[in-house]
Amino acid sequence: MMIKEIIKDELVEIHFQPIVSIRAKRLYAFEALTRCNYKGEVIPPYELFTMAIEENLSLELDILTRDKSIEKFYHYYLENSDLILFLNFESNLINNFNRDKNNYCFVETIDKYRIPYKNFMIEIKEDEISNTKALEEFCTYYKSLGFSIALDDFGTGNSTFDRINIIKPDLIKIDKSLFRDVKNNHINKEIVKAIAKMSENLGIRVLAEGVEDEDAICVAMKSNINLFQGYYFCKPTYNLDMFVVDEILSKIIEIGTIFRARTITSINDKRKLINYYCDVSQNIIGQFFDILKTEEIMYKELVNYFDLEAIYLIDGKTSKQINSTVIKSVNDRFRPTKHGDEHFLKEYYYITLESKQGIYLSHNYISYATGNLCKTFARKFELENQTYIICLDIIIKRN
């Protein structure tokens, strides 16, 4: 059988894909990836490991690839003892894990090269593991030895948040599918931000996997993600010589410069937006004489400004809305807020009311009313010795 010959003759080679830390401007780790060329035919990794499962040779292939990975890593470790090696574990091996009969333990190979266990990160695709008890025992056992655990491909497939409590990972790799066209995909962008924020609160490091362009990296960096792996920096490579490393370091500096420039541009754009809507809101407020007779004025101005979706007023003292929301269009499932509705727990109310500037600009959000991508601008003003807040829902991108 082909797979038997591949294992017997060790016809696999290990490629390393670098993992970088942009903020630290350095190589952080390598992921070990298996490649196979059998009689001139390239065997994809998935097919290779599937053949091993079908022939009941998963353990043998696993031992071969892991030993080769550790041996290769040893030479890089001698040059830089801070480097970490990411090792993948096949799910069927974890499903059958028994710490008392752990005959595929690779610790002996690591001991042979005298590399500390802290220099290894064990990667797990938890959505492929059905035996929760074995998964927990596996993670507990290797963490007790000093290894770190990473959750691979998180945020896609059948990955579940409850497994985090079982595995207690040291690192989460956000799946590459969430970074495709992430600049224009607001949903994916919010999922990335949520995973990154949750992980930060739990003391778990986050890695953006499969990043291929500046937009994906900048979105991840804005979410405080610091570790990156993907073709933007380097493809999996058999020989990572100094020329390759220097090129990676140059790209780290380049993307850091790009991110800084984009951040400064974003800050300036936000200032311009605030100044513009200060003028717009002042134009509307300047026409108010009786707070209960403002609806007609707001509707007229709503029509005049193409990028406004809705306008509404809030009583600063009571936090209740005055008059109904003036809105251009609305879907059948949405009920616009009306006179007397409460806003006291809304940021655009209490932040605007308490801030020295008396203004507020929200983050982007998807409008319940229209599905448009919007921001809310709010401004405090005085009329007849009473404090009010005008809110403008701004269309950033139409649905």
Q: What is the mean pLDDT of the chain?
A: 92
pLDDT digits (tens, 9 = 90+) for 64-86: 999 999 999 999 999 999 999 99
Same domain, 62 and 134: yes
Same domain, 197 and 63: yes
The answer on pLDDT for 126 being more than 80 is no
pLDDT digits (tens, 9 = 90+) for 132-160: 898 999 999 999 999 999 999 888 766 67
Is 199 contained in some domain? yes
Using 50, 70 and 90 to split pLDDT, how confident is the model at 90? confident
Q: Is 396:374 a contact under the CB 8 Å cutoff? A: yes
The answer on pLDDT for 128 being more than 90 is no
pLDDT at site 57: 87
Structural domain range at position 82: 2-240
Nearest CA to 149 out of 94, 79, 229, 221 is that of: 94
Is 99 contained in some domain? yes
pTM above 0.85, yes or no: yes
Same domain, 179 and 300: no
Is 349 contained in some domain? yes
- Cβ within 8 Å of residue 319, ≥6 positions away: 342, 343, 344, 349, 350
The answer on pLDDT for 37 being more than 90 is no
Same domain, 198 and 83: yes
State the sign of the Cα–Cα–Cα–Cα dihedral 184, 268, 21, 163.
negative
pLDDT digits (tens, 9 = 90+) for 296-319: 999 999 999 999 999 999 999 999
- Cβ within 8 Å of residue 298, ≥6 positions away: 284, 311, 312, 313, 323, 326
The answer on pLDDT for 162 being more than 90 is no
Is 260 contained in some domain? no
Is 248 contained in some domain? no
Q: What is the CATH number of the domain that holds 357?
A: 3.30.450.20
Using 50, 70 and 90 to split pLDDT, how confident is the model at 101? low
Same domain, 233 and 369: no
Residue that is last in its domain, among 222, 240, 258: 240
Average pLDDT for 347-353: 97
pLDDT at site 201: 96
Same domain, 27 and 161: yes
Is 64 contained in some domain? yes
What are residue 199's phi and psi, to 5 degrees? -65, -40
Same domain, 229 and 355: no
Structure tokens at 321: 């809305």
Is 257 contained in some domain? no
Number of domains present in the structure of the chain: 2
Question: What is the DSSP annotation of 193-247?
Answer: HHHHHHHHHTT-EEEEES--SHHHHHHHHHTT--EEESTTT---BS---HHHHHH
- Nearest-angstrom CA–CA distance, 365 and 189: 11
**Residue tagged 């269009």 (tokens):** 329
Is 309 contained in some domain? yes
- Nearest-angstrom CA–CA distance, 272 and 159: 41
Least confident of 41-50, 90-99, 167-176, 210-219: 90-99
Same domain, 120 and 224: yes
Same domain, 185 and 317: no
Q: What is the CATH number of the domain that holds 41?
A: 3.20.20.450
Same domain, 198 and 314: no
Average pLDDT for 341-360: 96
- Cβ within 8 Å of residue 354, ≥6 positions away: none
Average pLDDT for 365-371: 87
The answer on pLDDT for 103 being more than 60 is no
Same domain, 217 and 296: no
